């Protein structure tokens, strides 16, 4: 009988790609999502790729009663991968209470239910934002966490502490915190990809929508940072590579390979690219000219950060493989598929 995994926020961008990789690895997936920033049609894409339609419950994870009903309906859940969270840096500065309510309440509800239902492992989607603006680059898992530059980043930092404290208090489960860098791209089938509702908050969907003529112009926030071309630098990781890290993390916990009850891994490529480099590379691989302009800096953005993924490579047994060129091309193919 297949091992059952609960994926919260599973119709979202990273959640849907992770569901595909879990199903390809033989796991049975139950998705819960309130569809606040995703579309139910994503299930069709997952089914088209894997041949399996995951179980789905439209549930808001801040609703404890509804969440408990999911565990009652699907007994035997062995691990949870938690993607259910509000995730835009800029929006979090404008709506901090929304972010604290959504992200913290969801986590606490899940952690409270896990011991009641015998759930053994918890994978948390954390973020490189917990490092703030590091003094030394690239960042390792031992790089000190800094005061967050946005409420979004602060919720990730607080959630990490809540998980660590819960496990330290003899909670009967293990946890792995995956600190993402910047996920981009789409599944190579172009059946699923990043599908933000309304105006995109992330760079790549804004790039692809501008290229497709949906957005008039791409804004590059600042060209006066202390970087080679003045624009912010990030570690852009292919979303399928990132999804595979979750599968490895689940396997690690459920097969007793975890060295500690709470483990932390940076999930990145180890390479920093600037916003303007991304724009230039996108234009080269697609042949599409982008209409963009330099505007003022955006509150909450840090100047530059990229990962040292050595620990994930050596201990977790995971490595980013896709090139940025192939990744940007996959994002464009996904955008083109939406117009069909």
pLDDT at residue number 201: 82
Cβ neighbours of residue 44 under 8 Å, at least 6 residues apart?
none
φ/ψ of 262, rounded to 5, equals -125, 120
User: Each residue of 17-34: pLDDT tens digit?
Assistant: 999 999 999 999 999 999
Average pLDDT, the chain: 96
Which residue in 159, 61, 171 sits closest to 116, CA to CA? 171
User: Each residue of 107-160: pLDDT tens digit?
Assistant: 999 999 999 999 999 999 999 989 988 999 999 999 999 988 889 999 999 999
User: Rounded distance, CA 67 to CA 185, Å?
Assistant: 31
Longest dimension (CA), the chain: 56
pLDDT at residue number 256: 94
Angle CA 263–170–81, to nearest 5: 45
User: Rounded distance, CA 10 to CA 38, Å?
Assistant: 9
φ/ψ of 319, rounded to 5, equals -150, 140
Decide if 254 contacts 3 (C-beta within 8 A): yes
Q: Catalytic residue, from 152, 180, 225, 236: name it.
A: 152
Cβ neighbours of residue 70 under 8 Å, at least 6 residues apart?
6, 30, 32, 57, 59
User: Rounded distance, CA 14 to CA 242, Å?
Assistant: 8
pLDDT at residue number 244: 98
User: Rounded distance, CA 253 to CA 235, Å?
Assistant: 26
pLDDT at residue number 63: 98
Please name every residue paired with 180 in a beta bridge, in sequence order, or none if there are none.
Answer: 127, 267
User: Rounded distance, CA 261 to CA 166, Å?
Assistant: 11
User: Rounded distance, CA 131 to CA 135, Å?
Assistant: 9
Decide if 151 contacts 100 (C-beta within 8 A): yes
Q: Is 182 strand, coil or helix?
A: strand
pLDDT at residue number 334: 98
Residues of the chain with pLDDT under 70: none
pLDDT at residue number 313: 98
Active site residue 152: yes
* 4-184+237-268+309-316, CATH topology level: Rossmann fold (3.40.50)
User: Rounded distance, CA 98 to CA 276, Å?
Assistant: 31
CA atoms within 13 A on the CB side of 218: 24
Global pTM reads 0.96
Would you state the structure tokens that stand for residue 293, as one six-digit string?
């302009």
Which residue in 139, 126, 122 sits closest to 262, CA to CA? 122
pLDDT at residue number 275: 98
User: Rounded distance, CA 225 to CA 91, Å?
Assistant: 22
pLDDT at residue number 122: 98
Residue 237, CA distances (Å) to 137, 293, 309 in order: 17, 24, 11
Cβ neighbours of residue 332 under 8 Å, at least 6 residues apart?
208, 211, 282, 285, 286, 288
Burial of 321 (0-12, 13-18, 19+ CB in 10 A): exposed
Helix runs in the chain, H state only: 13-24, 42-50, 64-73, 89-94, 96-116, 151-168, 203-211, 239-254, 275-286, 310-311, 324-338
């Amino acid at each position: 009988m297949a091992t059952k995994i609960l994926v919260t926020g599973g119709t979202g961008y990273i959640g849907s790609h992770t569901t595909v990789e879990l199903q390809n690895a033989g796991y049975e997936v139950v998705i819960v999502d309130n569809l606040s920033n995703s579309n139910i049609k994503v299930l069709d894409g997952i089914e088209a790729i894997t041949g399996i339609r995951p179980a789905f419950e439209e549930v808001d994870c801040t609703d404890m009663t509804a969440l408990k009903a999911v565990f009652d309906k699907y007994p035997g859940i062995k691990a949870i991968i938690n993607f259910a969270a509000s995730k835009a840096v800029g929006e979090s500065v404008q709506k901090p209470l929304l972010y604290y309510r959504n992200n913290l309440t969801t986590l606490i509800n899940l952690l409270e239910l896990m011991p009641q239902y015998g759930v053994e492992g918890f994978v948390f989607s954390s973020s490189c934002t917990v490092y703030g603006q590091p003094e030394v680059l690239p960042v390792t898992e031992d790089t000190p966490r800094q005061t967050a530059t946005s409420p979004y980043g602060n919720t990730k930092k607080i959630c990490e502490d809540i998980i660590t404290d819960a496990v330290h208090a003899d909670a009967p489960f293990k946890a792995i915190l995956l600190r993402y860098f910047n996920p981009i791209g789409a599944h190579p089938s172009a059946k699923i990809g990043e599908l933000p509702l309304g105006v995109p908050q992330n760079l790549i969907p804004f790039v692809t929508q501008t290229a497709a003529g949906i957005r008039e112009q791409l804004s590059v926030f600042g060209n006066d940072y202390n970087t080679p071309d003045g624009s912010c630098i990030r570690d852009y990781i292919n979303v399928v590579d990132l999804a595979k890290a979750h599968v490895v993390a689940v396997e690690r916990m459920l097969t007793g390979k975890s060295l500690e009850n709470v483990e932390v891994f940076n999930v990145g490529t180890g390479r920093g690219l600037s916003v303007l480099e991304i724009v230039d590379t996108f234009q080269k691989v697609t042949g599409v000219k982008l209409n963009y302009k330099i505007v003022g800096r955006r509150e909450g953005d840090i100047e530059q950060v990229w990962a040292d993924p050595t620990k994930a490579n050596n201990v977790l047994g995971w490595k980013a493989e896709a090139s940025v060129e192939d990744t940007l091309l996959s994002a464009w193919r996904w955008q083109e598929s939406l117009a069909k």
